[in-house]
Structure 1
Amino acid sequence: MLKQIARISLFIMLFTSQLLFAQQSVRLNNNWEFLKQDLGGIWEAVRPVGMGNPEAVPLWQKVSLPHCVNAEDAVDPDVNYYQGPAWYRTQLNISNPYQNGRTILHFEGAGQKTEVYVYTTKVATHVGGYDEWKVDITDAVAAFKKTDVYQKQFKGKVPVSIRTDNSRDLEMIPSNLSDFNVYGGIYRYLNLVYAPALSVDQLFAKAEVDAQGKLGKLSVKARFYDPAHVGGAGIKFKLVAPNGKIVRETDKKIALSDDLKLWEIEIKKPALWSTGQPLQYTLQYEVTATTGNYKGEEKIGFRHIEFVEKGPFKLNGKRVLLRGTHRHEDHAGVAAAMTEGMIRQEMQMMKDMGVNFIRLGHYQQSRIVLNLCDSLGIVVWEEIPWCRGGLGGNIYQQQAKRMLTNMVAQHYNHPAIIIWGMGNENDWPGDFPEFDKEKIRAFMKELNDLSHQLDPSRYTAIRRCDFCSDIVDVYSPSIWAGWYRGAYTDYKKASEDEFAKVKRFLHVEWGGDSHALRHSENPDKALSKIKTGGSADERAGDASLYGGAARISKDGDWSESYITNLIDWHLKEQENMPWLSGTAYWPFKDFSTPVRPDNPVPYVNQKGVVERDFTKKEAYYVFQSYWTEKPMVHIYGHTWPVRWGNEGEQKMVKVYSNCNEAEIFLNGKSYGSKKRNSQDYPAAGLRWNLPFVKGENTVKVIARKGKEMVTDEINFTYQTEKWTKPATLVLKKIDQQDDVATVEVKLLDEQGLLCLDAINWIRFGLTGDGKLIDNQGTSSGSRKVQAYNGRAVIRVKLNQGQSVVAVHAEGLKTVFTTL
């Protein structure tokens, strides 16, 4: 029911937003051309064919926005991703309906340095890849329309050219040492906005309520855009409750001032915004002036937040265990240029997994994300991209302050936001010859003070910079039990030790990598090498796959089997930590990174519970079994086609479910029911040792929660023959859907047995009419990939023609198949 309310609320929000702004703002998605290099100058972007440009070189390609320069090369196994200038150009029909109105380009995000031109006139520059910004092109457009080329060469259209640049620059944040790509391009939506001479640039609506929910207060300020100095105006406000009823309204005359409180009201017992029932009010406003009226609206929510010192988190006076994850702006095939539909799908998947908290790593993210957090009931830690590398000079520090100021201003009204993040891993040196902890502390204090000045109502936080832990309100240390240090059984003790050191403790970033489709019959084997009982933090070099002390990140098998065990242990422990404010698993989705070229999927951080294309890993269902209420059941191993062991040996089957009781069936025979107990590890007691038969097996489970029943079923082969080392490759097509074929390679020994522990590097190639669907950053979408249980797959776009696919693995004979 609550999920339905949230979805209805989201629909109403999107519908009313389009209704109010349809005539003022339009997304400029289509009719763009793109060039992945620099130009000699702006004239090369706008000169018409025939005017000294008969060859029309360089070649531009047609694209739509949002668009990322690094859509594919971020995960290309054979190149470093492109960091440099790129150009976009289009021609716009511009006709402002307002007399003396302003024509504005509104960028929701572009990376990392941007220049904007109208014809040959540079109208703006912006530094920073993640905050929103606006460019008033009114005067430049008017000047261009007076030229001869406006009608003669451009037929009444206005040429707009945009240069983006994500070149390496040590005096910019984020650092290129960060464990994510510093992308280039216009990778969020770009809007053409028509506004009257007087408009609202930013509305600040502060909604407060006491912990008991008895008295709500709303205070409204605004920052006006008034380049013509219109002066006085009228303003109307209307506050609409979540049920659609008008709560209050006013109509007054105002003298323009950014510090003027436009409206202050009190509301007794307001409907509260919470993670379970994210009720939002709508603040509608209209500015009336002789130059035209400007309408807008903001969504707000009344909620009370408290991080108890030496205690948990409270929302509206009640403890809420923050069950969180992280989000990077990154997706297969498009990199940072995720569409609104993709973003909505991702956020809904998080909510369906049981998430009520998210840390947006490590930069300000799209307004679409924040709107969805508001409507779905997901509280937010949002931060600026001061991430790794140390501390730069004045230009560097001014950018950080500017981005913090913009982030707070632009996302001030979102009830979901509870924390402003000042930085991440600021104890990580490398960009500068000097690494001065006292200077870092001093600047961290500047940021912390600035945040409280801009917004006293929210907490500040950082992750992993112990020598700054006392500066911010909430601190998250580095605890990676069972991955970078120690065993996962060290998690609770390590957390208790860190909790004792700070005022307010919140644990963000935990988990480990898993190579999707790789499974193991003995996933915890490497734990026998691990030193336990000590620190569980990540230290310099721990992310490397080579050298140093034994650690699971280096010595483990990177199987989905291991990571589900690690997650299972963490979640069962969190249920018995009453002092815990919450945690956030790192991250929700696999993402690209330039610092991990040797991972099983090159250049991908594989710690997600879903792959880079939204394909769920087994870990997703472990979270669901602990965090959701809607009945669910999932047998581990849906992507494990061949299990192995001895004849007659009993093998464990794990079932992840939030149901009270489950009954298991093997090949049609019941092996009894078990009751769920979250403290009975693993799988909360829903595990059975079953006698698989050689060959094909079917396992089915029936689970019950009250009167509701859910089922799940898997089929697999049980291999009892013992294999030796890989001796040959076998490649064949295993599926075709329309014009897309799927091919699979298997590694077999000399007897033709599948080598189920083989992790050889596989490289796919293709010649002919088709194209490999690669550079996706997924286990089945990379032309170079480590095998999972002796196999690997990739898809091919056939283009209605004929192709030959090749597969190579070092030391083995290359094989081919014709499609």
Structure 2
Amino acid sequence: MVTIFHRFLILIILLFIQNIYSQSTAKSIAVREKIAIDHNWRFAFGHLYDTDKDFNHATGYFSYLAKAGNGDGAAAPDFDDRAWRLLNIPHDWAVEQPFDENGSFSHGFKAAGKGYPEKSIGWYRKKIDIPESDLGRIITLQFDGVFRNSKVWFNGHFLGTEESGYNSFEYDVTDYINYGGKNTIAVRVDASMEEGWFYEGAGIYRHVWLKKTEPLHVATNGTYVTTDIEDDFANVTAQVTIENKGSKKGEVEIVQTIFNQKGEQVAKTSQKAQAPDFYGTTTVNSTLKVNNPQLWDIDSPNLYKLVTEIKRNNNLIDQYTTKFGIRSFYFDAEKGFFLNGKHVKLKGTNNHQDHAGVGAAMPDELQYFRISKLKEMGSNAYRCSHNPPTPELLEACDSLGMLVIDEARLMGINKMHLDNLRKMIERDRNHPSIICWSVGNEEWKIEGGIVGERITLTLQDYVKTIDSTRPVSVGISSGFKSGISSVVEVMGYNYLGNGDIDAHRNEYKEQPGMGSEEGSTFATRGVYFTDDEKHYKSAYDVKPRPSFYSIEEGWNFYADREYLAGMFIWTGFDYRGEPTPYGWPSVTSYFGMMDVCGFPKDNVYYLKSWWGTEPVVHVFPHWNWEGKEGEEIPVWVYSNCEELELFLNNKSLGKKKMKQNSHLEWQVTYKKGEIKAVGYNNGKKVLTDVQKTTGNPEKIALIAHKKQLTGSDDIAVITVETLDKKDLHVPTANNEITFSVNGGGKIIGVGNGNPTSLEKDKFLDDITTIAFTQLQEQALASEVLPETLSEYNESDWKEAFKDRDYKNLAPSYIYKTTFKLDELSKKDKITFFYEKIGEETAVFVNGHLIAPSQEDSQKYVLNNGVLKQGINTLHIIATPIHKVNDWAVINSSPGIIQVITPSESWKRKLFNGYAQVIVQTDGSDNEITVTATAKDLKSDTIVIKK
């Protein structure tokens, strides 16, 4: 018998179970989502000033600036973009263009930008589904970077303009959403203007995200973590800014939890706060103690994770994760730079965001690849020249242990300048790798005067309101005497030949300093005799110009001066543009320690000798000098060994002592065979390096930087080289290599490091669209659509839709138009994308009835059997569309013809023995097979696992 007591007990148990279940369910539901929306965008070129070629954008009676939701042309939600190219973000359209002598010297002579109005405007469109369950949340579009001057629409609503090509920015789209249906994002990018004097790319070249939060949430970049290290613990101050875009007020709980690199909880705190008012913010500070902290360092980059939770009535409202590191650092005017109490000489490089094959649109893994290459060279510092970097670059520096100078793009004190600076600092200030904010670089107009001094003082004070833990620097190049040089917190000397650094230091003894740029040396990888006719510079480290110094001279200067924190070489990698000292057909710089692929020039081994910690012996040049028998060849050895001995064909050419931060030279009469350098410490052999005369190339070798990929967009960077019959690398090989890929991946770029190569970076299908000539019509007496095309009286044709009486429509209409195919190849894929001009439709091309495709009833694939070169005729028979309202606009365009011409095979010539191919996974679990072939060479195949 069940008593009332038993029933009551059962009810209590059920309520308890329900409470436990609801709590566990609440924890499993994501209260904050950040979703990558990089895949499957549509792209097409617009036009800088011809509105017809810019999809008639901004020509409507009411423009997008006049009425809300009135995005027109390609900004309209219902615009038909099916004929546009399908691609993934990040995307750089500039790197896809051919080279042109009339192109910008600064941007590597690519046929893009202001001089190319048909390639200076790019349109991107994407449709996304947002479920009804998201109603009530705050939905935000976030762009990590668009070059440049972007305008964004969401469902036809104009969201705003971001002029800078380097800022991260976002838009709240909550009220514009079609919940439970399709939503259209449209972006117009204007890359006609250059912000820098170096290659910058064009397009949405960084990631795009869809963020979803509750109305009460942690604001964008809303945490600020600082650390204070004591003897055996660290105090971590966690400042969180809470934003309220809802109406709920009252008390909330802020929970801050720190986890170490193993995922173990090491600290936790909780405190109460009042929710801010509607569209308001409030800031909460918490202090957490971490015992025996694992410090972030360049050799052991330990990272922690702060998880910030907002709770109301014990229910989780938001959860926000911040990675950070516990470390201390400071610049000292006498002793240089200190990290975690230890003196560290900054061994840095300057770099732009640009890599062979992909331009500015670098996949995330490529950031890690490049930072790893710099670390291997012995570098410990990176200057973001001369703009805020992509977030993934900083994540790579955090993870791998690379110190960073983060730099703003443009110096000034007005709202634009200060807002851009604030955005950069708020986004980046939790990265432990960042040790300095640079607010300017070589601002020649103001460097030496009172205006520059005032601006610098204002910016330094402004920076301190956002981040008080890091100093401010400026790179100075026009003398080191007055103006900015007299007031900047950390002096940045750009090139010791531009002024007297010691004299400046003696005048400003309380001011720390560093070589923010040094070198600007010229070198072509694998070339050892300058050939100005071919635009090749010898790779030996020599003084490049009267007021500039070699890498060795520069490093000796900074290494010998304890008061200087270190130096940053111009540059770590070659980059497109600035092909000083040459012009066309040189298209990349010559400054890098590595070329645009990351293949090392010989200077890398000088730096590795004196920047690194491992023994190094590197002898050069190569020993393939057919035709130079009996001539003297300069032979250099880079090493950190105490003594070096050089051998020619096992005959000693003598030993020499190695001076600190120097190199050794021999003049050797060429004779084929081998040169060998042997390094000794304390009289004992330590290391040997050999250069051998090789035979002709006989086979290809492929080597991937990693053989297993993860995630949906991971890449493998594959080195391509040729070997002789003894498996020796052939350093003079310039064979053209053709690539193919099968399985779950694709090639996204090729390169070889040749500064004068005008070969394609990418091999893409050519997509063109063909508009129809004037559309004509005749009224028909029957609404039954025929399966064959009759003949019609030519005199009865009239202009379609002109003066049509929509209250007295014919049962059906036949429309006629033409399109021209200048060339017709069996490989071409030709598609008619029909835009609805009738309810029921029959389509005829050259008299043949065409069936719609199965996946899209308004798409017609046209095979070569119905097409002809020259003029083709299109007939459409359709029942009419009736107007619901007199003011309704009926579509009168039948659509567009798309022609896809498949590209030729991916290929690239070797340059002095090397080329590079970058392969990206398609997101599937299928392994990737890459094959390289060449005339008269044995092919090679490599398999990349998933």
TM-score normalized by the length of structure 2 = 0.62
Match of 1:559 among 517, 524, 538: 538
Larger radius of gyration: 2
Name the SS for the 2:541 alignment partner. Answer: helix
Report the equivalent of 2:554.
Answer: 570
Distance 1:776 1:442, change over 3 A: farther
> Structure 2: any 5+ residue segments left out of the alignment?
1-27, 48-53, 58-70, 105-111, 115-119, 544-548, 703-717, 723-731, 739-747, 765-901, 910-933, 937-946
Is residue 26 of structure 2 the alignment partner of residue 26 of structure 1? no
Distance 1:28 1:691, change over 3 A: same
- Partners in 2 of 1:516 and 1:654 — Cα distance? 16
Match of 2:253 among 234, 242, 258: 234
Name the SS for the 1:469 alignment partner. Answer: helix
Report the equivalent of 1:109.
Answer: 145
Tell me, yes or no, if the aligned pair for 1:35 and 1:87 is still in contact at 8 Å: yes
- 1:308-358 Cα deviation digits (max 9, x unpaired): 124412222222111111121112232211110111101111111111111
Q: Output the amino acid matched with 2:143.
A: F
- Partners in 1 of 2:358 and 2:123 — Cα distance? 17
- Partners in 1 of 2:579 and 2:98 — Cα distance? 11
Match of 2:202 among 184, 202, 217: 184
- Partners in 2 of 1:314 and 1:743 — Cα distance? 42
- 1:101-156 Cα deviation digits (max 9, x unpaired): 2222221111222222122222333232222222222221137x6xxxxxxxxxx4
Is residue 138 of structure 2 the alignment partner of residue 163 of structure 1? no
Report the equivalent of 1:249.
Answer: 268
- Partners in 2 of 1:633 and 1:595 — Cα distance? 31
Match of 2:464 among 441, 445, 452: 452
Matches within 5 A, 1:199-238: 199-201=217-219, 202-209=221-228, 216-231=234-249, 232-238=251-257
Q: Output the amino acid matched with 2:488.
A: V
Tell me, yes or no, if the aligned pair for 1:195 and 1:294 is still in contact at 8 Å: yes
Match of 1:508 among 508, 516, 522: 516
Distance 1:626 1:340, change over 3 A: same
- Partners in 2 of 1:346 and 1:364 — Cα distance? 17
Larger deviation: 28-37 or 289-298?
A: 289-298
Matches within 5 A, 1:289-300: 289=312, 293-300=317-324
- Partners in 2 of 1:802 and 1:628 — Cα distance? 38
Matches within 5 A, 1:466-505: 466=480, 467-479=483-495, 481=497, 494-502=500-508, 503-505=511-513
Name the SS for the 1:782 alignment partner. Answer: coil
Tell me, yes or no, if the aligned pair for 2:633 and 2:670 is still in contact at 8 Å: yes
Tell me, yes or no, if the aligned pair for 2:149 and 2:162 is still in contact at 8 Å: yes
Matches within 5 A, 1:284-683: 284-289=307-312, 293-386=317-410, 397-428=414-445, 437-464=449-476, 466=480, 467-479=483-495, 481=497, 494-502=500-508, 503-517=511-525, 519-520=527-528, 558-563=537-542, 566-593=550-577, 598-599=582-583, 602-638=586-622, 641-642=624-625, 647=630, 651-660=633-642, 662-671=644-653, 676-678=658-660, 681=662, 683=663
Tell me, yes or no, if the aligned pair for 1:273 and 1:302 is still in contact at 8 Å: yes
Name the SS for the 1:408 alignment partner. Answer: helix
Distance 1:624 1:217, change over 3 A: same
Name the SS for the 2:366 alignment partner. Answer: helix
Shift in Å, 1:47: 6.5
Shift in Å, 1:75: 5.8
Q: Output the amino acid matched with 1:497.
A: A
Shift in Å, 1:458: 0.9
Shift in Å, 1:300: 1.9
Distance 1:254 1:384, change over 3 A: same
Shift in Å, 1:92: 1.2
- 1:653-708 Cα deviation digits (max 9, x unpaired): 222233455554422445465554425x4x1x4x4444432xx2322345467999
Tell me, yes or no, if the aligned pair for 2:523 and 2:601 is still in contact at 8 Å: no
Shift in Å, 1:803: 12
Q: Output the amino acid matched with 1:82.
A: G
Q: Could you say what the CA RMSD is over the residues aligned between the two structures, in angstroms? A: 4.4
Tell me, yes or no, if the aligned pair for 1:515 and 1:600 is still in contact at 8 Å: no
Match of 2:690 among 686, 700, 713: 713
Name the SS for the 1:475 alignment partner. Answer: strand
Matches within 5 A, 1:63-78: 63-73=87-97, 76-78=100-102
Report the equivalent of 2:113.
Answer: 82
- Partners in 2 of 1:341 and 1:401 — Cα distance? 32
Distance 1:141 1:594, change over 3 A: farther
Name the SS for the 1:470 alignment partner. Answer: helix
- Partners in 1 of 2:553 and 2:697 — Cα distance? 39
Shift in Å, 1:734: 8.9
Name the SS for the 2:271 alignment partner. Answer: strand
Report the equivalent of 2:305.
Answer: 282
Tell me, yes or no, if the aligned pair for 2:587 and 2:757 is still in contact at 8 Å: no
Tell me, yes or no, if the aligned pair for 1:197 and 1:292 is still in contact at 8 Å: no
Q: Output the amino acid matched with 2:287.
A: E
Name the SS for the 1:348 alignment partner. Answer: helix
Shift in Å, 1:498: 3.9
Shift in Å, 1:165: 1.8
Instruction: Count residues with an aligned counterpart.
Output: 662
- Partners in 2 of 1:522 and 1:142 — Cα distance? 63
- 1:338-391 Cα deviation digits (max 9, x unpaired): 11011110111111111111111111111111122222222211111016xxx6
Report the equivalent of 1:265.
Answer: 288
> Structure 1: any 5+ residue segments left out of the alignment?
1-18, 146-155, 169-174, 430-434, 486-492, 524-544, 546-553, 719-731, 745-755, 757-761, 767-772, 785-792, 806-816
Match of 1:126 among 148, 162, 170: 162
Name the SS for the 1:561 alignment partner. Answer: coil
Report the equivalent of 2:670.
Answer: 692
- Partners in 2 of 1:736 and 1:36 — Cα distance? 38
Larger deviation: 223-232 or 502-511?
A: 223-232
Larger deviation: 588-597 or 85-94?
A: 588-597
Report the equivalent of 1:3.
Answer: none
Q: Output the amino acid matched with 1:558.
A: K
Match of 1:44 among 61, 73, 77: 73
- Partners in 1 of 2:719 and 2:262 — Cα distance? 50
- Partners in 2 of 1:741 and 1:230 — Cα distance? 58
Tell me, yes or no, if the aligned pair for 2:200 and 2:360 is still in contact at 8 Å: no
Tell me, yes or no, if the aligned pair for 1:180 and 1:592 is still in contact at 8 Å: yes
Larger deviation: 412-421 or 796-805?
A: 796-805
- 1:271-298 Cα deviation digits (max 9, x unpaired): 3222232222221222224785322322
Shift in Å, 1:622: 1.4
Shift in Å, 1:589: 1.0
- Partners in 1 of 2:238 and 2:762 — Cα distance? 54
Q: Output the amino acid matched with 1:27.
A: A
Specify which structure has the higher proportion of helix.
1
Shift in Å, 1:400: 1.1
- Partners in 1 of 2:103 and 2:435 — Cα distance? 40
- Partners in 2 of 1:34 and 1:89 — Cα distance? 7
Tell me, yes or no, if the aligned pair for 2:525 and 2:753 is still in contact at 8 Å: no
